[in-house]
Protein backbone atom coordinates (compact mmCIF):
# COMPACT_ATOMS: atom_id res chain seq x y z
CA UNK A 1 0.00 0.00 0.00
CA UNK A 2 2.83 2.35 0.87
CA UNK A 3 4.47 1.65 -2.46
CA UNK A 4 1.28 2.55 -4.27
CA UNK A 5 1.00 5.86 -2.43
CA UNK A 6 4.68 6.60 -3.06
CA UNK A 7 4.28 5.96 -6.77
CA UNK A 8 1.12 8.12 -6.88
CA UNK A 9 2.78 11.09 -5.17
CA UNK A 10 5.95 10.76 -7.21
CA UNK A 11 4.37 10.41 -10.64
CA UNK A 12 1.24 12.56 -10.45
CA UNK A 13 1.35 15.10 -7.64
CA UNK A 14 5.05 16.04 -7.63
CA UNK A 15 4.99 17.81 -11.05
CA UNK A 16 1.82 19.67 -10.12
CA UNK A 17 3.20 20.88 -6.80
CA UNK A 18 6.46 21.88 -8.43
CA UNK A 19 4.64 23.89 -11.15
CA UNK A 20 2.41 25.56 -8.59
CA UNK A 21 5.40 26.69 -6.54
CA UNK A 22 7.14 28.20 -9.58
CA UNK A 23 6.90 32.06 -9.66
CA UNK A 24 4.37 33.42 -12.16
CA UNK A 25 7.03 35.23 -14.19
CA UNK A 26 9.06 32.00 -14.55
CA UNK A 27 6.20 29.89 -15.77
CA UNK A 28 6.00 29.05 -19.47
CA UNK A 29 3.87 31.61 -21.33
CA UNK A 30 2.11 28.98 -23.34
CA UNK A 31 -0.10 26.08 -22.48
CA UNK A 32 2.36 23.31 -23.36
CA UNK A 33 2.67 22.40 -19.69
CA UNK A 34 -0.37 20.24 -20.29
CA UNK A 35 -0.26 19.69 -24.03
CA UNK A 36 -2.94 17.04 -23.81
CA UNK A 37 -5.41 19.83 -23.08
CA UNK A 38 -4.54 21.46 -26.41
CA UNK A 39 -4.06 18.75 -28.99
CA UNK A 40 -3.69 21.32 -31.76
CA UNK A 41 -0.42 22.53 -30.28
CA UNK A 42 0.91 25.74 -28.83
CA UNK A 43 -0.19 27.83 -31.79
CA UNK A 44 -3.84 27.18 -30.99
CA UNK A 45 -3.44 27.77 -27.26
CA UNK A 46 -5.36 30.67 -25.69
CA UNK A 47 -3.40 33.86 -24.96
CA UNK A 48 -1.41 34.12 -21.75
CA UNK A 49 -3.31 35.31 -18.70
CA UNK A 50 -2.67 39.03 -18.19
CA UNK A 51 -4.69 39.57 -15.06
CA UNK A 52 -7.96 40.26 -16.91
CA UNK A 53 -10.53 37.84 -18.13
CA UNK A 54 -10.76 38.18 -21.90
CA UNK A 55 -14.30 38.92 -23.05
CA UNK A 56 -15.70 37.71 -26.28
CA UNK A 57 -17.04 40.49 -28.47
CA UNK A 58 -20.80 40.66 -28.23
CA UNK A 59 -22.63 41.10 -31.47
CA UNK A 60 -25.16 43.92 -31.27
CA UNK A 61 -28.79 43.06 -31.65
CA UNK A 62 -30.11 43.62 -35.10
CA UNK A 63 -32.08 46.89 -35.04
CA UNK A 64 -35.57 46.69 -36.33
CA UNK A 65 -36.30 49.24 -39.02
CA UNK A 66 -38.23 52.18 -37.63
CA UNK A 67 -41.74 52.66 -38.86
CA UNK A 68 -41.94 55.72 -41.06
CA UNK A 69 -43.60 58.68 -39.36
CA UNK A 70 -46.85 59.93 -40.86
CA UNK A 71 -46.45 63.07 -42.96
CA UNK A 72 -47.15 66.33 -41.11
CA UNK A 73 -50.66 67.70 -41.42
CA UNK A 74 -50.75 70.23 -44.23
CA UNK A 75 -54.27 71.19 -45.28
CA UNK A 76 -52.91 73.80 -47.69
CA UNK A 77 -49.66 74.72 -49.42
CA UNK A 78 -49.47 78.30 -48.15
CA UNK A 79 -49.55 77.66 -44.40
CA UNK A 80 -46.04 79.03 -43.85
CA UNK A 81 -47.30 82.50 -44.71
CA UNK A 82 -49.25 82.53 -41.44
CA UNK A 83 -46.20 81.94 -39.23
CA UNK A 84 -45.34 84.95 -37.15
CA UNK A 85 -48.51 86.79 -38.22
CA UNK A 86 -51.43 88.01 -36.10
CA UNK A 87 -55.03 87.06 -36.87
CA UNK A 88 -58.00 88.54 -35.05
CA UNK A 89 -61.32 86.73 -34.72
CA UNK A 90 -64.21 89.22 -34.53
CA UNK A 91 -67.67 88.17 -33.36
CA UNK A 92 -70.77 90.18 -32.61
CA UNK A 93 -72.69 89.69 -29.38
CA UNK A 94 -74.44 86.51 -30.58
CA UNK A 95 -73.25 83.75 -28.20
CA UNK A 96 -73.43 80.98 -30.81
CA UNK A 97 -71.26 82.97 -33.20
CA UNK A 98 -68.76 83.54 -30.41
CA UNK A 99 -68.61 79.83 -29.56
CA UNK A 100 -68.03 78.84 -33.18
CA UNK A 101 -65.27 81.41 -33.67
CA UNK A 102 -63.67 80.43 -30.36
CA UNK A 103 -63.40 76.81 -31.49
CA UNK A 104 -62.03 77.78 -34.90
CA UNK A 105 -59.50 80.20 -33.42
CA UNK A 106 -58.30 77.58 -30.92
CA UNK A 107 -57.99 75.03 -33.74
CA UNK A 108 -55.98 77.47 -35.84
CA UNK A 109 -53.70 78.20 -32.89
CA UNK A 110 -53.01 74.47 -32.43
CA UNK A 111 -52.01 74.16 -36.08
CA UNK A 112 -49.79 77.24 -35.99
CA UNK A 113 -48.15 77.69 -32.57
CA UNK A 114 -46.22 80.72 -33.86
CA UNK A 115 -49.41 82.45 -34.98
CA UNK A 116 -50.71 85.27 -32.77
CA UNK A 117 -54.43 84.42 -32.53
CA UNK A 118 -56.68 86.91 -30.77
CA UNK A 119 -60.37 86.50 -30.06
CA UNK A 120 -62.31 89.77 -30.12
CA UNK A 121 -65.86 91.02 -30.45
CA UNK A 122 -67.80 94.03 -31.62
CA UNK A 123 -68.40 96.48 -28.81
CA UNK A 124 -71.57 98.55 -28.79
CA UNK A 125 -71.24 102.31 -28.49
CA UNK A 126 -67.49 102.22 -29.00
CA UNK A 127 -66.20 105.64 -29.85
CA UNK A 128 -64.35 105.57 -33.17
CA UNK A 129 -62.87 108.83 -34.38
CA UNK A 130 -64.42 110.35 -37.52
CA UNK A 131 -66.97 107.56 -37.76
CA UNK A 132 -70.49 108.53 -38.92
CA UNK A 133 -72.01 105.99 -36.55
CA UNK A 134 -70.97 104.69 -33.15
CA UNK A 135 -72.80 101.40 -32.98
CA UNK A 136 -71.46 97.86 -33.24
CA UNK A 137 -67.86 98.94 -33.76
CA UNK A 138 -64.81 97.19 -32.52
CA UNK A 139 -61.62 98.61 -31.06
CA UNK A 140 -59.08 96.61 -33.02
CA UNK A 141 -55.34 96.44 -32.90
CA UNK A 142 -53.69 97.82 -36.02
CA UNK A 143 -50.87 95.29 -35.86
CA UNK A 144 -53.10 92.38 -36.92
CA UNK A 145 -52.36 91.02 -40.39
CA UNK A 146 -55.72 89.41 -41.07
CA UNK A 147 -59.17 89.09 -39.57
CA UNK A 148 -61.90 86.47 -39.42
CA UNK A 149 -65.28 88.00 -38.65
CA UNK A 150 -68.65 86.33 -38.04
CA UNK A 151 -72.12 87.85 -37.94
CA UNK A 152 -75.55 86.44 -37.20
CA UNK A 153 -78.71 87.42 -39.07
CA UNK A 154 -80.50 88.40 -35.88
CA UNK A 155 -77.68 90.79 -34.99
CA UNK A 156 -76.14 92.03 -38.24
CA UNK A 157 -73.61 94.76 -38.73
CA UNK A 158 -75.73 97.88 -38.61
CA UNK A 159 -73.81 99.92 -41.11
CA UNK A 160 -72.08 97.87 -43.79
CA UNK A 161 -70.58 101.03 -45.25
CA UNK A 162 -68.43 101.40 -42.14
CA UNK A 163 -68.25 97.77 -41.04
CA UNK A 164 -65.16 96.14 -39.60
CA UNK A 165 -64.34 94.27 -42.85
CA UNK A 166 -64.38 97.61 -44.65
CA UNK A 167 -62.14 99.24 -42.05
CA UNK A 168 -59.56 96.51 -42.16
CA UNK A 169 -59.48 95.74 -45.86
CA UNK A 170 -58.90 99.35 -46.82
CA UNK A 171 -55.34 98.69 -45.66
CA UNK A 172 -55.06 95.48 -47.63
CA UNK A 173 -55.65 93.10 -44.74
CA UNK A 174 -57.38 89.89 -45.84
CA UNK A 175 -60.71 89.46 -44.10
CA UNK A 176 -62.83 86.32 -43.96
CA UNK A 177 -66.55 86.72 -43.38
CA UNK A 178 -68.16 83.69 -41.78
CA UNK A 179 -71.89 84.02 -42.35
CA UNK A 180 -75.02 82.29 -43.56
CA UNK A 181 -74.75 81.08 -47.14
CA UNK A 182 -77.80 83.05 -48.29
CA UNK A 183 -76.30 86.27 -46.93
CA UNK A 184 -73.00 85.60 -48.68
CA UNK A 185 -74.79 84.78 -51.93
CA UNK A 186 -76.48 88.18 -51.85
CA UNK A 187 -73.11 89.89 -51.40
CA UNK A 188 -71.45 87.98 -54.23
CA UNK A 189 -74.27 88.59 -56.70
CA UNK A 190 -74.63 92.31 -55.99
CA UNK A 191 -71.65 94.16 -57.42
CA UNK A 192 -72.84 97.37 -55.74
CA UNK A 193 -72.92 95.75 -52.33
CA UNK A 194 -70.51 97.55 -49.95
CA UNK A 195 -68.76 94.26 -49.12
CA UNK A 196 -68.51 92.98 -52.68
CA UNK A 197 -64.90 92.04 -53.55
CA UNK A 198 -63.81 93.07 -50.05
CA UNK A 199 -64.20 89.81 -48.18
CA UNK A 200 -63.37 86.14 -48.47
CA UNK A 201 -66.65 84.40 -47.83
CA UNK A 202 -67.04 81.14 -45.89
CA UNK A 203 -70.59 79.88 -45.50
CA UNK A 204 -71.73 77.94 -42.47
CA UNK A 205 -74.37 77.82 -39.74
CA UNK A 206 -74.14 77.70 -35.99
CA UNK A 207 -74.96 73.99 -35.82
CA UNK A 208 -71.54 73.07 -37.25
CA UNK A 209 -69.69 72.70 -33.97
CA UNK A 210 -68.40 69.11 -34.17
CA UNK A 211 -64.73 68.34 -34.81
CA UNK A 212 -65.01 67.49 -38.56
CA UNK A 213 -66.92 70.70 -39.23
CA UNK A 214 -64.44 72.79 -37.25
CA UNK A 215 -61.53 71.23 -39.19
CA UNK A 216 -63.27 71.93 -42.50
CA UNK A 217 -64.01 75.53 -41.60
CA UNK A 218 -60.44 76.01 -40.38
CA UNK A 219 -59.14 74.65 -43.69
CA UNK A 220 -61.29 77.12 -45.64
CA UNK A 221 -60.27 80.02 -43.41
CA UNK A 222 -56.56 79.14 -43.79
CA UNK A 223 -56.94 79.12 -47.55
CA UNK A 224 -58.90 82.37 -47.57
CA UNK A 225 -56.43 84.17 -45.30
CA UNK A 226 -53.41 83.25 -47.41
CA UNK A 227 -55.00 83.77 -50.82
CA UNK A 228 -53.34 86.62 -52.75
CA UNK A 229 -55.44 89.72 -53.38
CA UNK A 230 -57.04 89.95 -56.79
CA UNK A 231 -56.87 93.05 -58.97
CA UNK A 232 -60.53 93.81 -58.28
CA UNK A 233 -59.93 93.58 -54.55
CA UNK A 234 -56.94 95.91 -54.73
CA UNK A 235 -58.99 98.36 -56.78
CA UNK A 236 -61.86 98.26 -54.30
CA UNK A 237 -59.50 99.02 -51.44
CA UNK A 238 -58.42 102.26 -53.11
CA UNK A 239 -62.02 103.52 -53.18
CA UNK A 240 -62.60 103.03 -49.47
CA UNK A 241 -62.68 106.12 -47.28
CA UNK A 242 -59.93 106.82 -44.79
CA UNK A 243 -61.12 106.24 -41.21
CA UNK A 244 -58.94 106.70 -38.17
CA UNK A 245 -59.17 103.89 -35.63
CA UNK A 246 -57.74 103.51 -32.13
CA UNK A 247 -54.46 101.69 -31.71
CA UNK A 248 -55.27 99.68 -28.58
CA UNK A 249 -57.35 96.54 -28.37
CA UNK A 250 -58.42 94.47 -25.36
CA UNK A 251 -58.65 90.69 -25.57
CA UNK A 252 -62.20 89.53 -24.90
CA UNK A 253 -61.59 85.79 -24.92
CA UNK A 254 -61.46 85.34 -21.15
CA UNK A 255 -64.46 87.56 -20.57
CA UNK A 256 -66.68 85.74 -23.02
CA UNK A 257 -65.59 82.33 -21.82
CA UNK A 258 -66.74 83.38 -18.36
CA UNK A 259 -69.96 85.04 -19.49
CA UNK A 260 -71.15 82.35 -21.84
CA UNK A 261 -69.12 79.40 -20.51
CA UNK A 262 -69.66 78.03 -24.00
CA UNK A 263 -73.04 76.74 -22.81
CA UNK A 264 -75.57 77.78 -25.43
CA UNK A 265 -79.30 77.56 -25.16
CA UNK A 266 -81.25 75.48 -27.65
CA UNK A 267 -82.47 78.69 -29.24
CA UNK A 268 -78.91 79.88 -29.81
CA UNK A 269 -77.75 76.53 -31.17
CA UNK A 270 -80.41 76.53 -33.88
CA UNK A 271 -79.90 80.16 -34.85
CA UNK A 272 -78.42 80.84 -38.25
CA UNK A 273 -75.09 82.57 -38.57
pLDDT tier at 140, thresholds 50, 70, 90: very low
pLDDT at 55: 66
In eight-state DSSP terms, residue 1 is -
CATH number for the domain formed by residue range(s) 83-269: 3.40.50
pLDDT at 24: 54
pLDDT at 231: 72
pLDDT at 85: 75
For residues 225 and 176, is the Cβ–Cβ distance under 8 A?
Answer: yes
> Domain extents for the chain?
83-269
Alpha carbon distance 106, 165 (integer Å): 21
Buried b (16+ CB within 10 A) or exposed e, 161-191: ebbbbbbbbbeebbbbbbbbeebbeebeeee
pLDDT reading at 132 higher than 50:
no
pLDDT at 176: 75
pLDDT reading at 178 higher than 70:
yes
Instruction: Give the mean model confidence (pLDDT) for residues 15-19.
Output: 65
HEC string of 72-138 equals: CCCCCCCHHHHCCCEEEEEECCCHHHHHHHHHHHHHHHHHCCCCEEEEEECECCCCCCCCCCCCCEC
Report which of residues 36 and 120 the model is more confident about: 120
Looking at every residue in the chain, the average pLDDT score rounds to 61
pLDDT digits 0-9 by tens, 199-258: 676 777 666 778 888 888 888 888 877 776 667 666 665 554 444 434 334 444 555 455
pLDDT at 202: 75
pLDDT at 177: 74
pLDDT at 135: 35
pLDDT at 126: 40
As a whole number of Å, the end-to-end CA separation of the chain is 118
Maximum mean pLDDT: which of 32-46, 118-132, 173-187, 228-242: 173-187
For residues 109 and 119, is the Cβ–Cβ distance under 8 A?
Answer: no
pLDDT digits 0-9 by tens, 49-104: 555 666 666 676 667 666 665 454 333 333 346 777 778 777 666 677 778 888 88
Alpha carbon distance 79, 148 (integer Å): 16
**Could you please report the per-residue DSSP string of 178-198?**
EE-HHHHHHHHH-TTSTTTTS
pTM, rounded to two decimals = 0.49
pLDDT at 263: 44
**Angle CA 265–266–272, to nearest 5:** 100
Buried b (16+ CB within 10 A) or exposed e, 96-133: bbbbbbbbbbebbbebbeebbbbbbbbbeeeebeebee
- Burial class from Cβ neighbours inside 10 Å (0-12, 13-18, 19+) for residue 54 reads exposed
Amino acid sequence: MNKILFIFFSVFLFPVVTWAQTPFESRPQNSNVFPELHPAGADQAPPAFNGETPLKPVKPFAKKPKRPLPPPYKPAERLSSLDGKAVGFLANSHPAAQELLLKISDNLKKRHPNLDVRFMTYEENTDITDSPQKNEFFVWLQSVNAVVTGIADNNPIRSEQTSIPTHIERNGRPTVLLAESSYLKKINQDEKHPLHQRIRAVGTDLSETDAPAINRLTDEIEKALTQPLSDKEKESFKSLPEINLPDAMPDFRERFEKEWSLQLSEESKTAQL
